[in-house]
Amino acid sequence: MAVAGRTVLDVLRLSTVYLGEHGSGTPRLDAELLCAHALGLQRMDVYLQFDRPLRDGELDVIRELVRRRGRGEPVAYLTGVREFYGRSFAVDPAVLIPRPETETLVEVVLRHLRAGPDGGRGARVADLGTGSGCIAVSLAAEMPGLRVVATDVSAAALVVAQRNAERHGVSERISFVQGSWGEALEGALDMVVSNPPYVTTDELAHADRDVRDFEPHVALLAG
């Protein structure tokens, strides 16, 4: 049953205003992503159905997502996905949300590997502190034949990383190992890659609440 008087566009507008009033720096984008997620749509498809009345239950789902976002919970944790290097990665509070700037690291690694012997085919790379696996999976997906050893101290993070490897069809070429940094590594490697924790305790205390209150501190704090 449709909710009388509430269309997709109505809720999108109301959600944008609410999120803007509750600290979101990107209220319209957040509202679009949350509405799309709740309705099972792609983000741009929200506008193709802008005049559709909401069905019973849809409004409640959107309200809850928007309230949680208003309390600072990251959109990526609410939707369970984050785009990285042209692919969709599963994320949850066990892993750091992939950052766009980390795509630059992937680009640099790919460039060096391709400039090496045989264009990097058959190379063996380690990704230390793999988290969601976004670096390891992106490298393996971009370079067929590349083998990756991905380590993380967190068993929960490795579950997410494994899921992403399976999602993108590269799980047979990535070995996931639980351990602190390189302590679990064995055998020769052609390259070691890492996006390690880099935030000080003081910086974290003054970080946006999205980061400070929700992302795993073990993946953020240096030292």
Instruction: Report long-range pairs for 9-12 (Cβ below 8 Å, ≥24 apart).
Output: 9/47, 9/50, 9/51, 11/35, 11/54, 11/59, 11/62, 12/46, 12/50
Judged against a pLDDT cut of 50, whether residue 124 lies above it is answered with yes
pTM (2 d.p.): 0.91
How much is the pLDDT for 183?
Answer: 80
Task: Quick: pLDDT tens for 146-158.
Answer: 999 999 999 999 9
Task: Quick: pLDDT tens for 72-109.
Answer: 999 999 999 999 999 999 999 999 999 999 999 999 99
Q: Which domains does the chain have, with CATH numbers?
A: 2-71 (1.10.8.10), 94-219 (3.40.50.150)
Q: How confident is the model at residue 117 (pLDDT cuts 50, 70, 90)?
A: confident
Task: Quick: pLDDT tens for 167-198.
Answer: 999 999 999 999 988 787 888 999 999 998 88
Judged against a pLDDT cut of 70, whether residue 5 lies above it is answered with no
Q: Cβ(106)–Cβ(146) under 8 Å? A: no
Judged against a pLDDT cut of 60, whether residue 1 lies above it is answered with no
